[in-house]
Amino acid sequence: MKYLATLALALVPLTSMATDLTIPAGQAYLVGVDQQELILDNLRIGNDARISFAPGVNSWRVHARVASIGKNVVIDGRGAAGVNGAAGISAPSCDEFVDGQPGNIGQAGADGVEIRLQLALESLGSMRILSAGGDGGLGGAGGDGADLDSGCGADVAGEGGNGGDGGEGGRGGDVTFLYQSLAKTESGDAMVSRLNINTDGGAGGEGGDAGSGGAGGSGHYETRKSLTGSGRKWVAGASGGLAGSPGSTASAGQPGRILLDQLIMSTVKVAPTNVNPLSLKALQREIEQLRKRVEQLEAQ
């Protein structure tokens, strides 16, 4: 992991916006597009739980006043791998001047999900946060050129098709983990030492193989009739076709940034029944300003 500059963030939780989220041990939990930002009173994640993301979810931001996380928890926000390019069609044998078709380009890998967690930790067993970019798809192989045999009567066989270029690797998603320890027997640093974060960029897809040129025909005698009778004539063999060019390997995606640091949470509580609308708006503006400070630090 890489550690960025220390961040002191005072977050005033809004009780009127808070709720609870419990993911039982061993369960899979899918984050939907309507859950990309959660403000929670309590977050409970059991041992061996696994969190993944529905299509269309590009970021997940969770603010929890109290969080308890079990062992072997996985948050899997890795980008999907790009689809491999289809191979080019090979030319039918013994067709004159018919070349193999080029392979298709591999698709780019998807970017990893941006994950931002701001947690006051009661406990943390162990957790992996995976936000690597998806690998680029492989380029399709070029099709082979048409072969020419003694019955074709052509001068040159078909050329091989070019291989398709590989797809670009996806970018790793940024991961922000800001924490405060509520445990009496363990420090926050000790708990977050059991975090494993991967924001690697996806590998670039390899280019497709070049198509082979068609085989030339061998020389032969042909019997031909003329006004003066029949005779044999030597016919030179057809030249072999040129091979295509291999596709280019694409570049890997950029890794995502990691911000892992201490979170200082305010102890101020706002009772939902006594909230002044003007005070609530002021608190919301304060949170928005603090969020912008976090984003500025992440951008450095």
Q: What is the pLDDT of residues 126-183, one digit of tens each?
A: 999 999 999 999 999 999 988 876 456 566 778 899 999 999 999 999 999 999 889 8
For residue 248, the tally of other CB atoms under 10 A from its CB is 17
Instruction: Classify residue 230: in a domain, yes or no.
Output: yes
pLDDT, tens digit, for every residue of 31-72? Answer: 999 999 999 999 999 999 999 999 999 999 999 999 999 999
Q: Is the pLDDT of residue 109 over 70?
A: yes
pTM for the full predicted model? 0.73
Instruction: Look at residue 11 in the predicted model and tell me its pLDDT.
Output: 39
Q: DSSP string of 188-237?
A: HHHHHTTEEEE-PPPPPPPPPPPPPPPPPPPPEEEEEEETTEEEEEEEPP
Evaluate if residue 233 carries a pLDDT over 60. yes
On whether residue 67 sits in a domain, the answer given is yes
Q: Which domain holds residue 285?
A: 10-299
Total domains present in the chain: 1
Q: Look at residue 3 and tell me if it is in a domain.
A: no
In a domain, 205, yes or no: yes
Tracing tokens 């990691």 back to the chain, one arrives at 258
Instruction: State the burial class of residue 226 (Cβ atoms within 10 Å of its Cβ: 0-12, 13-18, 19+).
Output: exposed
Q: Which of these, 189, 179, 198, 195, lies nearest to 257 by C-alpha position?
A: 198
Q: Which helix (H) or strand (E) holds 282?
A: helix 277-299
